[in-house]
Amino acid sequence: MNRSLERYLSRTLGLAIVLIGLAAGAVSFIFAYQEAQEFQDDTLRQIAAFTDTEQLPGVGRNPDITGMSDSVDSDPENRVIVVRLPHGAAPSAAAWLPPHIRPGIHTVSSPQGYWRVFVRQTSNGARIAVAQATAMRDEAATDSALRTLVPLAILLPLLVWLIARIIRREFAPVRLLAQKLDEQPAERPATLPDASLPDEIAPFVRAINRLLGRVTRLMGEQRRFIAEAAHELRSPLTALSLQAQNLENAETPEAMYDRVKPLRAGIERARRLTQQLLSLARSQAAVPTNETVDVSKMARELIADYLPLAEARGIDLGLEEAGNIVISAELQTLRLVLNNALDNALRYTPPSGTVSLRLYIEGDDAVFEMSDSGPGIPAAERERVFDPFYRIEGAGGEGSGLGLAIVRDAAARLGGVISLDDRSDGSGLVLRYRQRRGP
């Protein structure tokens, strides 16, 4: 199931902002509420500090809060009550205050509800009580704390919207690059612009550009290969057409027989070229699937297959193996490497020559050497001979220039390495293929 990174980031960051905002709002509300309560306590202290005890009326025996309008000073809006208490803690004290109440802040209960009371004792022993209903205090503290949430209530939606806009803007270059990539012609893809890109996206775009470069080179090689293949096929087909016409114009059986031989050779050359083209195409299209391959058994089967050709050409074909060799590789691709290397050596080795396949282990690698006594390849040409349809000028043999190209392509797909060297005696060529035995 596809997932939008843009929506995921917007949703995740938006949720994080909301949760953090709610937590911050809760903490801010609690601190503001507590600060408002402390401020109101300080207000009670200040009122008590600036109150003249001589001008305050006292309270009679067991006065009730509801009947204090004439005997106390009060604030009708905040319901702050200031009263002078009698000396001592006799039953004549205010009925709504507990007896023996000490100076300081207290919360007391009365029939009219809870009150916050600050009791002050002056230097002459007089006591002043400043009281305020807790319901009023809580309402004022709540209103004050709620005002601190107003900025958060405005900023949270704005921040969520702003985050979504920023993420969408930052992902806009990705959408633009995708659009440019979709608009490119499939036959000639061009690299994407990587300037002014975020550091996290630029490596990805550069990797795409490198891939496009490889695809462009591969398409160019394929076009060139198709053109060269068409040219190579045109020549034997034209020759076959001419030889068929000559065969039709033969006047005697002897002349017909003489003209059949080059016709058969031309057909064989066209067949072999077509087979090599198909082998190369299959190698390039194959999906590697490694399996355990008994290379020694495969080599013996190949030697048996090519022995009739070697005998017909008078070539000494041999196999040298240092024990049984088993590796992990794709069977058909590995067989393609050895088959074309052996076929190439036999076709370029003159009569009475020698071709030898040697198998041995070197460290963690399996090494296959195809040694022949043919004309060899000059050092300057050893890289070009791997190009399709390339043949050394003046080279004999019946090759089409595809054998080594197929060998290199198949070896690259197996992860192996191909190299060409002179034989130790200076005559002929050694094709060496090296591959790790394990995956």
* For residue 396, pLDDT beyond 60: no
User: Nearest CA to 416 among 362, 340, 365?
Assistant: 365
| Mean pLDDT to the nearest integer, 251-274 | 74
pLDDT in tens, 345-373: 888 888 888 999 999 988 888 899 989 88
| Mean pLDDT to the nearest integer, 161-188 | 82
Residues 6 or more apart whose CB falls under 8 angstroms from that of 328 comprise 290, 291, 292, 293, 437, 438, 439
Residues in the chain: 439
- Domains of the chain (ranges, CATH numbers): 18-147 (3.30.450), 184-285 (1.10.287), 288-436 (3.30.565.10)
Please report, in angstroms and rounded to a whole number, the separation of the first and last CA atoms in the chain.
33
The dihedral sign for the CA sequence 137, 143, 147, 149: positive
Give me the amino acid identity at 419: S
* For residue 398, pLDDT beyond 60: no
| Mean pLDDT to the nearest integer, 198-205 | 80
The dihedral sign for the CA sequence 391, 315, 422, 369: positive
Taking residue 132's Cβ as centre, other Cβ atoms within 10 Å add up to 23
Query: Of residues 292 and 87, which shows the higher confidence score?
Result: 292
Taking residue 385's Cβ as centre, other Cβ atoms within 10 Å add up to 20
* For residue 400, pLDDT beyond 70: no
Q: What percent of the chain has pLDDT over 90?
A: 2
| Mean pLDDT to the nearest integer, 130-145 | 85
Contact 377, 386 (CB under 8 A): no
pLDDT in tens, 83-123: 777 665 444 445 667 767 788 888 888 777 788 888 888 77
Compute the distance between CA of residue 278 and CA of residue 280 in angstroms, rounded to an integer: 5
